[in-house]
């Protein structure tokens, strides 16, 4: 019995971004830049995939992970709200990280 899942290229990009986020967040803590936000990013980077995986195990066969997340979000499941908040935070963290590093390069020039 096989469940629907997202394509392999999606999972490769997804885990590559998570590993990059984790590495850059640790690097930011070491360099003492955006320290508190980087700690939160590390927490979300570790907990969100684990919580998503655990809660996607019992999904219906005809749904992939994303469809299951959206369906649970519409029903108000706490784990799906946490997951969306976590991914949103990581997206904002990336924008802040890139913006601050770009500003540093411009100022240094």
In the predicted structure, residue 1 carries a pLDDT above the cut 50: no
Residue of higher predicted confidence among 82 and 5: 82
In the predicted structure, residue 75 carries a pLDDT above the cut 70: yes
In the predicted structure, residue 2 carries a pLDDT above the cut 70: no
Instruction: Please write down the long-range contacts of 41-50, taking CB distance under 8 Å and 24 or more positions apart.
Output: 41/89, 41/90, 41/93, 44/86, 44/87, 44/89, 44/90, 45/18, 45/21, 45/90, 46/22, 47/86, 48/82, 48/83, 48/86, 48/87, 48/90, 49/18
pLDDT tens by residue, 97-107: 988 876 665 55
pLDDT tens by residue, 32-66: 888 999 999 999 999 999 999 999 888 888 888 99
């Amino acid at each position: 019995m096989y469940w629907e899942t997202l394509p392999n290229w999606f999972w490769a990009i997804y885990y590559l971004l998570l590993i990059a986020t984790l590495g850059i967040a640790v690097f930011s803590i070491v360099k003492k830049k955006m320290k508190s936000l980087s700690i939160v990013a590390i927490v979300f980077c570790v907990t969100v995939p684990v919580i998503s995986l655990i809660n996607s195990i019992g999904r219906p066969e005809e749904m992939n992970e994303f469809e299951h997340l959206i369906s649970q979000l519409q029903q108000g499941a706490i784990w799906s709200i946490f997951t969306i908040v976590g991914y949103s935070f990581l997206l904002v963290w990336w924008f802040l990280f890139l913006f601050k590093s770009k500003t540093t390069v411009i100022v240094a020039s």
